A = this chain, B = another copy of it.
Amino acid sequence: MMATMMELINELWLLPRHLISPGYDAALKRLAAELPMTIHEVPSGTKVWTWTVPESWVCHEAYLETLSGKRLLDVADHPLHVVSYSLPFDGEVSRNELLSHLHVHPGLPEAIPYVFKYYQRDWGLCASQLLRGSLKEDRYRVVIRTEFTKATLKIGEVLVPGKLKECFVVAAHLDHPAMVNDDLTGVVVGLEVARRLLAGPKSFYSYRFLFFPETLGSIAYLSQHEDLIPQMQGGLFLEMLGKDAPHALQTSFQKNSPSDRALITALRGLELDAYVGGFRTVIDNDERQFNSPGVRVPMLSLSRVVNPHLPESRFQPYPEYHSSLDTPQIISQARLENSVETVLGLLKAFDQNLYIVNHFKGEVFASGYGLWVDYKTDSSGHKRRFEIMDRCDGLHRPADIAEELDISFQDVWGVIAKLLENDLVSLSLTPQPTDPHLA
């Protein structure tokens, strides 16, 4: 008996899922109850490429009071009231000193912002602009009881084994306390996709689903599994899938990889008004680590950011981003379900995107194989069908054909499927040119 995506979100969202923290660990444990999952652990202090795994951090208590003991703000009311990874503090401070440690959201007067200080070690609290504006006294009392502990960074992995060990990676980040769209939505959509793939027929490629804390999770996983990197043929980062906006697909660094071509041309067939943008132009996240030098996995990302075509989108993907307004109210189960279908469609195209090797020579006797489109009633359909068959030459994959003809992956696959049924073509992982001039 499985939880729905919204049920999982409602259960997990308010947990203090800081980068490495008991709240994060609890959330990952809950996911592992849904599907067979391997938990990888990397201890604090481990050197992971140019980074080091931080300590675990927990906030036992944090509040702001007047000197007369009136409580103005308490982390018990909302996990975002304390800066993530804040140093502990206990003392009386002047109004000016307090203000330099009290963060607000620049654009949302009533929201508490999400602020983190992993490397600029400092103490800090977060509040709404309204609260901050009301502070008129000269001195205040601040208590922040936080604790840094050696622990482990944890990564959850669900493997869907295919016929090949070569794999495609789907990832989402599970950290970020009390936020939903960023990125519990990516997590639950990824989990649901994994569940359906596990229940379906065996795929050609293997699929690895990863759930981790942002940036450090990717780096920790990759640096501990360097032997797997050459097997990774592509990937998709899932994030911010809950807002009411069309899907936005961000290409990988390589942008013409088979992974890119398959996903881009498949999205054409799945959603008319979807947006496709270049690497580092839509929204930045863990796909950066997978695409980086020395790794170079062509990982795309799928989101529903609101204005993907605007340069500022990368830092302001939706109004409630990185604030206490990023709650279950701004997302919907229907959109998450639709994203699950979209991701399944993209992965299906990746799995089908093999070289098409023609067993035929010359034009196929189309009417003998149910492949005839009458030019008198559908001249462009007639031309299109032959243009697809023209490219079944052991050198093209369906996505290459879709790209060349500016049509969808699914349009191409419709013809390939009929050719496969009639044993007129087969599929191959490697190019098999059939042009006799190349022999």
On A, residues with C-beta under 8 Å from B are 48-51, 119, 215, 218-219, 222-223, 226, 229-230, 253, 280, 288-289, 291-297, 311-312, 314-315, 358, 360-365, 367-369, 375-376, 379-380, 383, 386-387, 389-394, 424, 434-437, 439
Q: Are B361 and A393 in contact (CB under 8 A)?
A: no
Partner of A296, one of B297, B365, B380, B437: B437
Q: Is the CB of B49 within 8 A of A362?
A: yes
Contact partner of A292 (CB less than 8 A), chosen from B280, B361, B367, B439, is B361
Return the chain B residue nearest A281 by Cβ. B383
Residues of chain B contacted by A230 (CB below 8 angstroms): 436-437, 439
In contact, A294 and B226 (Cβ under 8 angstroms):
no
Q: How far is the CA of A351 from the CA of B211 in the complex (A)?
A: 46
Q: How far is the CA of A370 from the CA of B376 in the complex (A)?
A: 60
- CB-based contact B294/A223 at 8 Å: no
Residue in contact with A219 in the complex, picked from B49, B362, B376, CB distance below 8 Å: B362
Can you spell out 22 A-B residue pairs with CB atoms less than 8 angstroms apart? A50-B365, A50-B369, A51-B365, A219-B362, A222-B361, A223-B362, A226-B436, A229-B436, A229-B437, A280-B383, A280-B386, A288-B386, A289-B363, A292-B362, A293-B390, A293-B392, A293-B393, A294-B436, A295-B436, A296-B436, A314-B375, A315-B375
In the complex, the answer to whether A296 meets B435 with C-beta atoms within 8 Å is yes
Q: Given A50-B365, A387-B280, A424-B50, A293 and B434 touching (CB < 8 A)? A: yes
Residues of B within 8 A of A311 (CB): 379-380
The distance in angstroms between the C-alpha atoms of A116 and B312, with both chains bound, is 62
Q: Are B436 and A362 in contact (CB under 8 A)?
A: no
User: Cβ of A379 and Cβ of B315 under 8 Å apart?
Assistant: yes
Q: Are A360 and B49 in contact (CB under 8 A)?
A: yes
| Chain B residues with CB under 8 A of A361 | 49, 222-223, 226, 292-295
For A360, give the chain B residue with the smallest CB separation. B50
Quick one: closest B residue to A215, CB to CB?
B363
The answer for the CA separation of A356 and B405 in the assembled complex, in Å, is 36
A247 to B293, CA, bound (A): 37
Chain B residues, Cβ within 8 Å of A48: 362
Closest 4 CB pairs of A and B: A294-B361, A296-B435, A293-B393, A50-B365
Q: Which residue of B lies closest to A389 (CB)?
A: B293
The residue in chain B whose Cβ has the minimal distance to the Cβ of A280 is: B383
Give the complex CA separation of A280 and B215 in angstroms: 50
Q: Give chain B residues whose Cβ lies under 8 Å from the Cβ of A289.
A: 362-363
Known contacts A223-B362, A362-B50, A379-B312; A390/B437 CB under 8 A: no
B435 touches A294 (CB 8 A): yes
Most chain B beta-carbon neighbours within 10 Å: one of A295, A311, A380, A436: A436
**CB-CB < 8 A to A393: which residues of B?**
293-294, 296
Contact of A294 among B292, B294, B360, B379 (CB under 8 A): B360
Chain B contacts for A383, CB-based, 8 A: 280, 314
CB distance from A135 to the nearest CB of B (A): 24
Contact A390 B436 (CB under 8 A): no
For A297, what are the chain B residues with a Cβ–Cβ distance below 8 Å?
A: 437
